[in-house]
Amino acid sequence: MVHYLIEFRFHGKAKYSIKGIAIDLYHKFHIRTEQHPHITLTGPFTTHDEKKLIGDFNRACSASNLMRFSISGFSFFEDARTVYVDIKPDEHLGMFRWNLSQQLGGYCVLTDFDKNRDFKFHATISNHVPLHKFERIKDYVTTLQTPKFQHVMVRATLLKGGIILREYDFLLRRPLVRRLALNKHIYAKTINLLEGHLTGNYDANESIKEDVNVPKPGFLNKLKRSFTKPRIFFTSDLHLDHENIIKYCHRPFLNVEDMNRTLVNNWNNTIEKNDRVYFLGDMSFGKGSRSADHWLSKLNGDIYFIRGFSYNVSGERNQHDKISRTKNVFDSLIIEHNGRKFYLVHDPANIPSDWKDWAICGHHHNNKLDEYPFIDKKNKRINVSTELTKFRPIDIDMLIGEIED
């Protein structure tokens, strides 16, 4: 049966210092040493519910701020003849490991070490050292300079059979699939944030990018939703497949693949199949982008599609969305809810001049917030571009609460 492991992998100076000690022992005593310095947080363990494991791992990590630990010297497990680096975690890291163990214990087969509240944090250098070499190595290691570091836990890694299944970046505040975890450009962003934190240019817990992921609803939450009446939501301007929108609108995504995945997951973790969603245009955008039909096939809900369009300087209409999957496609729409009327259209420039009630639109994203804020009470206008609703659809009752506040 496949085994899983949750660990922290060393970075930077600490990584190369510990790895250098391991190489030194290998050459002097011809013993097997750990090639990838790490701290095991949970495992190895087994489970029959990998999907739940990934969800719990992501949730536990996203609930934690930056955690720290120090390296205080060398020590030994006599019974297993193990040489290791002694790790002193801060209280947050100690609690994170314990909470993770408690959460996984219900459906994962954990080791006795994982179930122990008094867990020994360590990074193994060499394990199962031959008996005739162990005492010599102990004597030698005590002569080495103690590697003393104050370290930040940059990422937690979930391994499946020794291969990265998921990784969580505590500086970017993002879960990463294997391909993103191994991406050097993304890692460079992490290190830049870490350097800013270590040099005191900002408090990383305050300045890191917001975690915009909507967690997947648990079983009880989904059961509760199944007994409630369908809800009504709005969103606009996802711009799926549009890489330049990340820079243009300062979206907190690592690349277009990360953006696509997050926006689709946020939609589906918010919307049930019977909920109605009024989408106000620009589903996908840019050269080589996939059609609105492609993305609609991946999204939950009864979707009413308001086409994204605008007029150029010659008065010609530019059509943004080409769609054939649903018959519920409109240039604009008027709806009524709890005695209030709303005019739905992509571009606020196309709101009729004689419309006196509230209008809901998109188009301007977050680039003209003085003129097109989320709620504009003076002009009775709501901007539901996804950047202004935390990259997820927003409930109509929440909108009404905002305009009545």
Residue boundaries of the structural domains of the chain: 4-207, 219-404
For 294-313, what is the mean pLDDT?
82
Question: Residue 82: in which H helix or E strand, if any?
Answer: strand 82-89
Sorted by sequence, the CB contacts under 8 Å of residue 374 that are 6+ apart come out as 382, 383, 384, 388, 389, 402
Q: Compare 392 and 206 and report the one with higher pLDDT.
A: 392
pLDDT of 194: 86
Asked if residue 345 has pLDDT above 90, the reply is yes
Instruction: Give residue 75's identity as a one-letter amino acid code.
Output: S
Note the pLDDT tens digit of each residue in 90-129: 999 999 999 999 999 999 999 999 999 989 999 999 999 9
Which pair of structure tokens corresponds to residue 26? 């290998």
Question: Residue 97: in which H helix or E strand, if any?
Answer: helix 91-104
Give the chain's mean pLDDT.
89
pLDDT of 189: 86
Asked if residue 202 has pLDDT above 70, the reply is no
pLDDT of 108: 96
Asked if residue 225 has pLDDT above 90, the reply is no
Asked if residue 154 has pLDDT above 60, the reply is yes
Asked if residue 311 has pLDDT above 50, the reply is no
Asked if residue 320 has pLDDT above 80, the reply is no
Give the whole-number percent of the chain exceeding pLDDT 90: 63
**Based on the number of CB atoms within 10 Å of its own CB, is 276 exposed (0-12), middle (13-18) or buried (19 or more)?**
middle
| CATH code reported for the domain at 219-404 | 3.60.21.10
Q: Compare 217 and 95 and report the one with higher pLDDT.
A: 95
Question: 4-207 and 219-404: same fold?
Answer: no
What pTM value is reported for the model? 0.70
Q: Residue 208's pLDDT band (boundaries 50, 70, 90)?
A: low
Q: How many CA atoms lie within 13 Å of 242's alpha carbon, on the beta-carbon side?
A: 21
Note the pLDDT tens digit of each residue in 60-98: 998 898 999 988 888 999 999 999 999 999 999 999 999
* 4-207 carries CATH number 3.40.30.10: no
Q: How far is CA 221 from CA 107, 139, 265, 270, in A?
A: 19, 58, 17, 11
Asked if residue 203 has pLDDT above 70, the reply is no
pLDDT of 312: 47
pLDDT of 389: 96
- Give the strand pairing for 38-47 and 68-77: unpaired
Q: Which of 338, 15, 52 is nearest to 191 (CA)?
A: 15
Cα–Cα distance, 174 to 399 (Å, whole number):
28
pLDDT of 135: 93
- Give the strand pairing for 358-361 and 381-383: parallel
pLDDT of 213: 83
For 356-363, what is the mean pLDDT?
96
Q: Residue 316's pLDDT band (boundaries 50, 70, 90)?
A: low
Q: Compare 382 and 12 and report the one with higher pLDDT.
A: 382
Give the whole-number percent of the chain exceeding pLDDT 70: 93
